[in-house]
Every structure is written in C-alpha cells, then in structure tokens.
C-alpha cells in the first residue's frame, strides 16, 4: 500500500512527492499548489488493485 505518489509539475518540471489517502477512493482529482513554484495543478491520483498509487498533474 503506497501512501505517497510522485508527479512531475507541468509548470517547473520538478518531481513532487504527494501524500495520498487510499481511503478517499480509488480515483481522486483535486487541485494542489506546487510546493516548488506555487502554481496550481490539477492532480489525478489512481490506485491499482494492489493499492499502489500513481499520480498525474496538469496545469489548472
């Protein structure tokens, strides 16, 4: 079971580690500010059958 996922910020290209909560559902979508460049990103988090998280981000 993962409790972090990694995405690449579309604004600054930095890899960002993101804390995730599997109890919030297998498909999650929310807005988060990049901790490096402070621009807002739309984050999508998905969990596979084994509970491994993957995240993708796009510019809001």
Q: How far apart are CA 54 and CA 38, in angstroms?
A: 21
Min dist CB 10 to Zn ion, Å, is 8
Of the residues 5, 9, 43, 57, which one makes contact with Zn ion according to CB under 5 A: 9
Question: Of 3, 4, 6, 12, which lies in the binding site for Zn ion, with binding defined by CB under 5 A?
Answer: 12
CB neighbour list of residue 9: distance below 8 Å, 6 or more residues apart? 15, 16, 34, 36, 37, 39, 41, 57
Told to check if 43 binds Zn ion by CB under 5 A, we report no
- Which of the stretches 23-31, 36-44, 52-60 binds Zn ion when contact is defined by CB under 5 A? 36-44
């Amino acid at each position: 079971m993962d409790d972090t996922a990694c995405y690449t910020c579309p604004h600054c290209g930095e890899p960002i580690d993101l804390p995730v909560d599997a109890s919030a559902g297998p498909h999650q979508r929310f807005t988060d500010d990049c901790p490096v460049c402070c621009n807002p990103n739309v984050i999508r988090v998905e969990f596979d059958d084994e509970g491994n998280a993957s995240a993708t981000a796009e510019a809001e």
